[in-house]
Amino acid sequence: MTATTVDDQAVRAHPVALARGYRFELIKLVSQWRIRLLVLTCGIVPAQFVAAVSRQSTLPEDTLFGRWMHATGWAGPLVVLGFAGTWALPLLTSVVAGDVFAAEDRLGTWPHLLVAVRSPRRIYAAKALASLTVILLLVAGLAVSSAAGGVLAVGNQPLVGLDGHLLTPADAAGKVLLAWVCVLAPTLALAAIGLLGSVALGRSPMGLLLPALVALALQLAQMLPLPVAVRLALPGYAFIAWNGLFSSPAQLGPLMIGVVVSLGWAVTGTALAYRLFLRRDFTNLAYDGSGRRAVRTGVPPLVGLVAVTVAVLAAATGASGSGIEQDKVQRSVATAFAHLYRMQTGQLNRPDVTEAQLKATATCTKGGGNVAPRGPGNDWRCVISWHLPDVEAAGTAIYQLDVAADGRFVADGDGPKEVNGYFLVRTPTGDAPNPLWRFDGTVALLSTTQKG
């Protein structure tokens, strides 16, 4: 051979179109038995769970809306949503997004994929979009399945909100849908963490577990008595902020903050994973993740994001402390009591009375009056007073409150027996659950304090 001759047939290859790469990634994901199993599980199990629980005599009263599962089919999808935010969604994002890059490391298919697609950027985009699609499919399955199970098993009845007011079935359906849409934001944040772990840690199981571990850490943080600005600055808050939809008026502020913070994490996590992915040396076939680089690249920006968010929220909302204060607790309890009193009045076939006529007020103390009445704890005690038309004496009832750090509370009736001391009320048609015996509520962490 003496000469080099250019082969003029050779043309420079172009990267594969993103749509084709996306389809390729989707085919690979959906062909995995565990993804198929998850899709089936999310489509079937919630319906069966809700239908089965709704027919039990004992309801999951520790879970928000659990005590209303006999009353309406719309409580079921909210119970599942509460459970999903704690366990299911972090695990789903772990299995899908936490493995989407690591799978190629495990199979040793990076060279093949890069030669076929010819663009790490498009590979990243295709993988991120494909995992997002599967996650959306799984979340939609959970929502639709649990709603269908509830409505078919119990019926399309009104739902009692967190302040005791009744939502019509149509309102309940809309808010249930909106609540599920809202938790997509923190789910995407966890998915971005999953992408980051999958890119950074390669075949290591830690990459797969990262979203679940981060979700667990965020849940633990939400259980601590954090300042409200810090609580809202964490992406996990959006998993519980949907509660505010079920008050009247809806507590949209914390919800919007939670959603925006979560989307911020989703964007930041995805961008960090993208940056790390593009820096990877794909000729190193023994690559097994770069934990140190991941920590250097991933942790400081996320910590910085939290710090900036805390500062912005503290400045914008003026919120300080836990956000749980005496007057807010008193208002929340009194409002819920008034709504539920009307419901009990209806059950007992007594003349209707409005919340305005009742003029319900609450006087709450904490720790028997020995500690400052603010912050979470199970030592709140409230005395509620109300008036009935044409009755001079005010009625009173006592509640023991367990107020969680995130503002949710359970009010446990402590008498008198005729009002809130017993779990059943005797109605003209027989015994029925007493709505005043025990109820859930929520304290608006960001609402302004009423003076006087």
Partner 1 sequence: MGTLLAIRARGITKCFGDVVALDGIDLDVGQGQIHGLVGPNGAGKTTLLGLLLGLAVADSGHLEILGTPVGRPLAAPDGVSGFVDAPGLYPSLTARQNLAALAALRGRDAPRMGIDDVLDRVGLTDVADDRVRGFSLGMRQRLGLAAALLTKPRLLVLDEPSNGLDPGGKKYVHSVLAGLAMEGTGIVLSSHRMEDLEALCSDVTILATGRVAFSGPLSKLAAENRELDYRLLTSDPQAAVRLAADTAGVRVVDDAGAWPDVEVLVVRALVAAVDDLVVRLVHAGIAIRELTPVLSPLEAAFLALTEQEEPS
Residues forming the site for partner 1 (CB under 8 A): 1-13, 15-17, 20-21, 23-24, 27-28, 31-33, 107-120, 281-285
Task: From residue 110, give the alpha-carbon distance in Å to each of 29, 36, 97, 132, 198.
Answer: 16, 24, 17, 21, 14
Q: Closest separation between CB of residue 30 and partner 1, Å? A: 9
Cβ at position 120, least distance to partner 1 in Å: 8
Locate 135 and state its tokens: 């996650």
Nearer to partner 1 among residue 32 and residue 357 (C-beta): 32
Query: Least distance in Å: CB of 31 to partner 1?
Result: 4
C-alpha distances (whole Å) from 123 to each of 199, 278, 305, 412 are 12, 10, 27, 55
CB 313 within 8 A of CB 229: yes
Is residue 212 a contact partner of residue 91, using CB atoms and an 8 Å limit? yes
Q: How far is the CB of 95 from partner 1 (least distance, A)?
A: 14
Compute φ and ψ for 381, nearest 5 degrees: -135, 130
Phi and psi for 395 in degrees, rounded to 5? -85, 150
Contacts of 27 (CB under 8 A, 6+ apart): none
CB 114 within 8 A of CB 120: yes
Amino acid at 339: H
Quote the Cα angle for 249-250-252, to 5°: 130
| Of residues 15 and 301, the one with the C-beta less far from partner 1 | 15
Answer whether 432's CB lies under 8 Å from 345's CB.
no
Question: Least distance in Å: CB of 5 to partner 1?
Answer: 4
Minimum distance of partner 1 from residue 283's CB (angstroms): 4
- How far apart CA 230 and CA 232 sit, in angstroms, is 5
Nearer to partner 1, 109 or 378 (CB): 109
Q: Which helix H or strand E contains 277, and what residues bound it?
A: helix 252-278
User: Closer to partner 1 at the Cβ: 6 or 393?
Assistant: 6
Of 9 and 349, the one with the shorter C-beta distance to partner 1 is 9
Query: In this complex, which beta carbon is closest to partner 1, that of residue 100 or of residue 446?
Result: 100
Compute the least distance from the CB of residue 123 to partner 1, in Å: 10
Residue among 113 and 360 whose Cβ is closer to partner 1: 113
Give the SS3 label for residue 425.
strand
Is the Cβ of residue 21 or residue 76 nearer to partner 1 in the bound state?
Answer: 21
Residue with tokens 């639709």: 144
Amino acid at 263: L
CB of 126 vs partner 1, minimal distance in Å? 10
